Chain A
Amino acid sequence: MLKNKSDLAKYPFTIEAARYVSGRGLEIQDLVADEYSATLDRAEKRIEEAITSAKIAQEWQDDEVEILSFPTAIMLLSIIGDDRLRRRYALAESKRAYEILSKDESAKTKIIEIAENTFSWKIEQVEKTIEERYYEYALHFMNYLRNATSIHAPTWKLTNRILSGGYVYLTKDETSRLLLEEIQRKILARSEKTTLEIPIALALRVEKIRQMIEARKGFMRIEEVPRAAVYTAMPPCVRNLYDALFAGRNLSHMGRFTLTSFLVNVGVGEEEIVKTFKAATDFDEKKTRYQVEHIAGRRGGKRKYTPPRCETLKTHSVCVNPDDLCKQIKHPLTYYRRKVGSLFKRGKKPETG
């Protein structure tokens, strides 16, 4: 168990820190009192740092303030209710934790404590060298899958892991990386929009943050949308093709065309698409380049192709796991535009007057 205050300040998302805070019996109205102005300042700073640099500083003066400012910041986020900000904040906080953990001298036991107590992971400490790799942890596959499936790299694919008796072997750094995912999810869940009655003194702070978001909006979007294609905004069919490609599966002609034309239309560059297709097993760079250029309208009929409609995709079994949004649309590009819209533009405009 994390006991001393400086640990709670380092890891304010833990259950121990939450217990400490609830032990103080703080109410939202109390926060306006003078003695908590430092806490409010720090909470605001946390959010500001997330907005401006996507990083939260790892130095602080007062442990007490550091501990209390974390739930306070989350409360502010849930009042503001901007999904994009919430995600950005969750990422910044989890990175902070990851970096502090990597410098922590007792990281090895801290990881176990945080994983078990706060996130109920089934995890064991091991000392094992398998095929020249040194592993320090074994994590139950359920906890592994929940956190690793969002990381798209061959090393994280379960097929490429050492899995035995239900446990996946991990290095210390890999375990911290998975904790980072879990911390993000927890912050996202805890900061969901609420309709709290807010004291006037807090309302001013909220307003200030809203303006800060507004001012940084374009910038945040550029940072968060790497050269356009947003994986999470892709319709299930395209995501499936994308995953299949990375899993080394051969795509059908229809699948290949759908993926390429989709990527072309959401603004991914030709070079980038060719690179993506490099993951395919039957990759022939020249041929792929030709196809991509053709679909992008630079060759042949000079016509830029759009992906087939949903109906066509169904016929050719490219349509998989349609979700609720799929029911409302008839074209994969419509899906994407709507999803991007709801992911990145939900931040409320500050009310004037």
Chain B
Amino acid sequence: MALSLREGRSLKPVEDFVKERFSEYYRKNSRNVEPPPSIEKREFGFILFKERMMVRHKSFRTSQDLARFLENTAPSDAYHSTAYYSRPEEAMENKGWLGADLCFDIDADHIPTACKAIHDRWICKDCGATDVGSPPDMCPKCRKERIDEETWLCEKCLDRARTEATKLVDILESDFGLSKNYMSAFFSGHRGYHLHVRADEVRQLNDTERKEIVDYVLGLGLDTGLHRLRQGTKGTKLEISNVSGFGWNGRLAKGLFDIMSNSDERELADLGLKRRAIKDILETREQVPKEQFTTTIWKTLYTIGPKTWQKIAERAIYESSVKIDTVVTTDIHRLIRLSGTLNGKTGLKVVNAPVADLERFDPFKEAVAFVGEDTVYIKEAPQFRLGEEVFGPYQKEKRTLPRAAAILLICKGKAAPVIS
């Protein structure tokens, strides 16, 4: 029986099927769910299969209470507040805000990757027009704005997200002096990573102060003049000389020197550099020993005008900044996914990733939550990996797959269970 997937998603049997699997997971694993510290001061929220609505303002005194709740309800998604409250179960204005962890969300959605053109697509709800890549704001065909997107979690995208997370950890540690011991990183079970900072000193930060930290991480409002990229005596020249400088000062210097020393002809042209300037840069590279690339030699290139320096600087800032979802960090009442629970968009679990060893963390292995097999009818799916096994690509076929792979395809709307 081949279900049309758009209908299939709303069909009850599919949902019951997924819910049953989630239920089984929580019966076996609810004790492994990792509640945040001070569980009694947190608000919890859940999306339930039946209502498809967020149930908020829940609270639990112990991790056992929480585990029991998860077993009984088997929610599609589970969240906890980044904040601490004296009365977490009350309405927002009566909760008594005590402070909040400093949290960051790095999502592949916010990172431009080339592979999105391969695995993501969008469909216009009105005229049915469709194409690959990130969705446009407006349908190019019928000019309406109701657009559905189908995304995929791909290894390249998640690698990029993980690299961003590593950059973030570095900024928090070296610039903000926050110890890794107070940081926890989690794979969200879908397209990104969450970083929680639970140091005492950040708890009382208000939203304005958090916004300032967000701007810092994004390199927003960075005034290159204040970082000494300014008018020299003979036209504008680069005065930054200290690549081991502090914070953005050093990062900007490093970024600038990196572009000057390593970008190829095309990349330089893309930045808007003129032919003569590019020639100058390439010739300098040939004439000067590489060790001197990070020193002051670039100052002497008078063919590069102030506007061009600004463009190069902006590129350098972009490369060093961390692409985070700004809203998550500034919202001091935010709910965020609970570690050890399942993500309803994928059936993968939210899982702790070691902050000190992020680069070696493999989300496609660690987030697998199910054992056993299921048979599914797959409409269409790109190739993907779970654990050591590579699946697909699939095109209109019936397959018996490891349960985690089957659930992933069902949750992403690419397959429907074949119920015997």
Contact = CB atoms under 8 A, between A and B. Distances in A.
Interface of A: 130-132, 140-142, 145-146, 148-149, 154-155, 157-167, 169, 243, 246-249, 321, 324
A158 B217 CA distance: 10
A163 B223 contact: no
B212 A164 contact: no
B227 to A, nearest CB: 7
A158 B218 CA distance: 11
Given A158-B216, A247-B221, A248-B222, 5 more contacts: A130-B249, A131-B227, A131-B245, A163-B176, A166-B178
A145 B226 contact: no
Contacts of B178: 166
A328 B247 CA distance: 43
Given A142-B202, A247-B220, A321-B207, A163 B212 contact: no
A324 B94 CA distance: 12
Interface string B367-404: 00000000000000000000000000000000000000
Contact of B215 (A130, A131, A142, A157): A157
A161 B247 CA distance: 8
Interface in B214-243: 215-216, 219-223, 226-228, 240, 242
B245 A142 contact: no
B208 interface: yes
B177 A165 contact: yes
Contacts of B227: 131, 160
Interface in B185-202: 201-202
Contacts of B207: 321
16 contacts: A130-B245, A141-B177, A142-B202, A145-B205, A154-B226, A157-B215, A159-B222, A160-B221, A160-B222, A162-B246, A164-B174, A165-B174, A165-B177, A166-B178, A247-B215, A248-B222
A163 B221 contact: no
Nearest to B209: A145
**Interface size band for B:** 35 or more
Interface of B: 93, 174-178, 201-202, 204-205, 207-209, 211-213, 215-216, 219-223, 226-228, 240, 242, 245-249, 330-331
Contact of A142 (B174, B205, B221, B249): B205
Which are the 9 A-B pairs with shortest beta-carbon distances? Answer: A166-B177, A247-B221, A164-B246, A145-B209, A165-B177, A163-B247, A160-B226, A159-B222, A154-B223
A163 B228 contact: no
A233 B267 CA distance: 47
Contacts of B177: 141, 164-167
A161 B207 CA distance: 20
Which residue of A163, A167, A247 has the most chain B CB atoms within 10 A of its CB atom? A163
A321 B175 CA distance: 28
Contact of B219 (A132, A159, A161, A165): A159
Contacts of B221: 154, 157, 159-160, 246-248
B109 to A, nearest CB: 15
Contacts of B204: 142
A154 B93 CA distance: 34
